[in-house]
Structure 1
Amino acid sequence: MTTSRAADRAGRRHRGLALGLAASVLLTGCAAAPVAVSKETSKPVPTASAEPAAGVATVPGYDVGQFPPIPMFVLPDLSLLDSSASAFAIKVNEALTDIPGVIASPAHCDAGGSVISGNGTALLYGDGSGSFTGPDGTVQNFGDGSGNSTINGVTIQNFGDGSGNYSNGTVTIQNFGDGSGNYTDATKTVQIFGDGSGNYTDATKTIQNFGDGSGNYEDGDLTIQNFGDGSGNYRSAEITIENYGDGTAKVNGEQVEAEPLPVVPTLGVFPPLGTLAPLESCGTTLTFEDGVLFDFDKSDIRADAGKTLDAVAEVLTSLEVAQASVSGHTDSVGSDSYNLSLSEDRADAVVDGLEDRGVRTSLTGEGFGESRPVAANEIDGEDNPAGRQLNRRVEIFIPATL
């Protein structure tokens, strides 16, 4: 980073704007009457692994012997089911199709135009009571009468018992009224079974949550298994970790100390039909997931993240984006001041990386530390590693009007 660029950092940081993670791209589907869902039953079973290469290695973004948890299920922002601003998000996602860990989604703003962080993003955990538990832990109960309506291509069937269907011509939602339901678009399917278990699939990833603390995750050659008793496995092309749940693990065959794995949180219920109130998007959010750009507790972009920034720079340039805001976010581990500083440095590093690649978009960098979570860092007083993983992110917000 040049001296002049470093001096510009202070001018780029605006800590008051709430940039958020709206987790949706609007794609193909059609309405249908509720039907039974199919539940996967192939629970993970510990198996012997091939003999790994010697030497201690780390998973990018994680400390020695540590690896990501089985991800939480994240439904799209169900209030953003209007297609008016979805074309840009779809175009960006198509451009980023071969770049893992970067997602484009329509953004949700308040009346003043500020992005609402996490509001309406359905992170599925809860007590199974039929409520929708939001990312901040608040609970909302919804209910309305039965009936059908079709307005501007959006069809809603509400059967008055909590069940119903939704289709906007691009997204299909089936709600069975008992806490279970399906969400489908052209790239992803989410199945929630209402008993704490469920499945998630998209073009590359598969997540299985068995509702008993165990689960599986697959993404290409990456496999994560959590057996629900503190033990589990992580395998990729570069590293193999076997955590035995007794304070020890093997990393590429070498014995290390490692904390037992936390259990996979059970899933909550499918949000009730009353939440499906279409809103117009105010723009697009690009989200860099945890571990894509930075090593554990660092703000220097890794050399192997260059391909990711190259792709994002190409999108911003080819689509002639005039203005955008980059925001950094952390989980709640560590002091407020440290997290704020780390998030600022990471946002600035992304701005600098894009400018180094010739991006002419007017970019501002912002740091919010732990103040804009999109998931609970704790559930019922217990640490939630999967939620903290979602909170560690960098976002780029592109206004719809630019």
Structure 2
Amino acid sequence: MRVAVVSLACATVLVAACGRGPSPDKTAAATPDAAAAAAPAAASAGSEVLTAGSIEFPVIPTIMVPSIIGSGPAQKRLELSMQSLIDPLAGISVRPANCATDGGLVNESGFTNVDAQGNLERVGGHGVFNIGADGSGQAVTGDGVVEVKPDGSGSVVNDAGTFEVNADGSGTYVGSHGNIELDGKGAGSWVGGFGTIENHGDGSGSWVGAEGSIEINADGSGKWIGGPESIVENRGDGTGTVGAVPREVKMAPLAPLPPAGQFPLLDKFKPSGAPCGYVITLNDKVLFDFDKDAIRPDAGKVLDVLATALGKVPSSAMEIRGHTDAKGSDDYNQNLSERRAQAVLAALRERGSATDASAHGYGETQPVAANEVNGKDNPGGRQLNRRVEIFVRT
């Protein structure tokens, strides 16, 4: 029996890639002051409604949970080679890959390749495993310690940090990407070098960080302070103000913040597939302008590092996979995803990498997050879905 080393992937996407400014899906003014300047001058700043259009707040990142499947030496070498790129907030990550019996990539996380049909004790080069017939147990390996209880709760401790999960979906993560706490009911927080995200679970929340201070209330109102002269207040009734000296503008109520997720139960050492390689994820904004398939000039450094890293890890096959969100028609999204996958493949080949790789587009068919929540648009989820993946099969 082959037992996979279990560890917490240190480069998994912990949050949705956030908008570093207004979303490119809209044509609204980029900043509060720009919106005010575009409108006719008001005779009285507090009385006349300016027709500046809709002002869009930056997207508060959606709190996600780490992947909990094992990473091997090949992935660790890849992560080391890509260390200058890996940034969960920007949507650049590496995760271990699982494959189903037909060889297809399995998106779900889980522990791999441990027999849970009877009590098992194993001491060998991989570590020490004590596993009960119910799938609970403990694994102690060179990568850390994993404990799984019969109800699916447990912990993972390794060099990436500490992951604690409870049977109700609540839990904590403390590690290289900061601190995550989820209550299992939709509320949670994430604190890291980028700032602090709070999700209250009722549609309201806040983010204090790269974009300034952003607050969203459950009634559609909110406030964004991007600097001394960049202040936006949304009343939630179709009106609001912009600027340090408030000027009236029309603005749509803010979409409610989707609930934070739950930590997954620890699968009781049962396989969701077999380890088969790793997946590199690149948020589309890293490589492309909105709705374009030409790689951005400033993406050259990312591709240089990526091509060098891929050349250091042996593989049996490689696939460039393009994905979109659900906005637009199925045919349009399929075509866009194919063109983007081909563009990344061509760019890597220009750099002497991925010479035997293939490229495929999957359109909107394989989302990793909800495009809508309760019938309402979910910008953070759509950002996660707009991505290019590089599946390296080992």
Let me know the Cα RMSD of the aligned residues: 4.0
Asked whether the 8 Å contact 2:195–2:209 carries over to 1, the reply is yes
TM-score when normalising by structure 1? 0.65
Asked whether the 8 Å contact 1:225–1:233 carries over to 2, the reply is yes
Relative distance call for 1:108 and 1:159 in structure 2 (3 A) is closer
Structure of higher CA gyration radius: 2
Higher RCO (CA < 8 A, seq sep 6+): 1
Q: Which amino acid aligns with 1:335?
A: S
1:306-352, Cα deviation, whole Å (9 max, x unpaired): 44334323433565878532111111122110110111122222223
Q: For 2:198 and 2:223, how far apart are their aligned partners in 1? A: 15
Asked whether the 8 Å contact 1:316–1:359 carries over to 2, the reply is no
Q: Which amino acid aligns with 1:302?
A: R
The correspondence for 2:257, drawn from 259, 264, 270, is 264
Relative distance call for 1:223 and 1:311 in structure 2 (3 A) is farther
Asked whether the 8 Å contact 2:148–2:268 carries over to 1, the reply is no
Aligned-partner SS, 1:292: helix
Q: For 1:240 and 1:164, how far apart are their aligned partners in 2? A: 45
Relative distance call for 1:164 and 1:323 in structure 2 (3 A) is closer
1:300 partnered with 2:294 = yes
Shift in Å, 1:380: 3.7
Shift in Å, 1:373: 0.9
Asked whether the 8 Å contact 1:242–1:251 carries over to 2, the reply is yes
1:182 partnered with 2:175 = no
| 2:91 matched residue in structure 1 | 101
- Most deviating of 274-283 and 293-302: 274-283
1:207 partnered with 2:200 = no
- Number of equivalenced pairs: 324
| 2:207 matched residue in structure 1 | 217
Asked whether the 8 Å contact 1:89–1:105 carries over to 2, the reply is no
Asked whether the 8 Å contact 1:309–1:353 carries over to 2, the reply is yes
| 1:346 matched residue in structure 2 | 340
Q: For 1:101 and 1:197, how far apart are their aligned partners in 2? A: 22
Structure 1 unaligned residues grouped into runs of 5+: 1-23, 28-49, 57-62, 122-143
Shift in Å, 1:112: 3.2
Shift in Å, 1:301: 2.7
Relative distance call for 1:330 and 1:257 in structure 2 (3 A) is farther
Q: For 1:387 and 1:183, how far apart are their aligned partners in 2? A: 21
Aligned-partner SS, 1:72: coil
Q: Which has the higher strand share?
A: 2
Asked whether the 8 Å contact 1:145–1:159 carries over to 2, the reply is no
Asked whether the 8 Å contact 2:32–2:242 carries over to 1, the reply is no
Asked whether the 8 Å contact 1:196–1:211 carries over to 2, the reply is yes
1:50-75, Cα deviation, whole Å (9 max, x unpaired): 9846767xxxxxx9844553222221
Residues 132-281 of structure 1 correspond to what in structure 2 (within 5 A)?
Answer: 148-150=137-139, 152=141, 155-160=145-150, 163-167=153-157, 172-204=162-194, 206-218=196-208, 220=210, 224-232=214-222, 242=232, 244=234, 245-247=236-238, 258-274=251-267, 277=270, 281=275
The correspondence for 1:88, drawn from 74, 77, 85, is 77
Structure 2 unaligned residues grouped into runs of 5+: 1-7, 12-30, 39-52, 111-132
The correspondence for 1:396, drawn from 386, 390, 394, is 390
Asked whether the 8 Å contact 2:197–2:206 carries over to 1, the reply is yes
TM-score when normalising by structure 2? 0.67
Asked whether the 8 Å contact 1:330–1:391 carries over to 2, the reply is yes
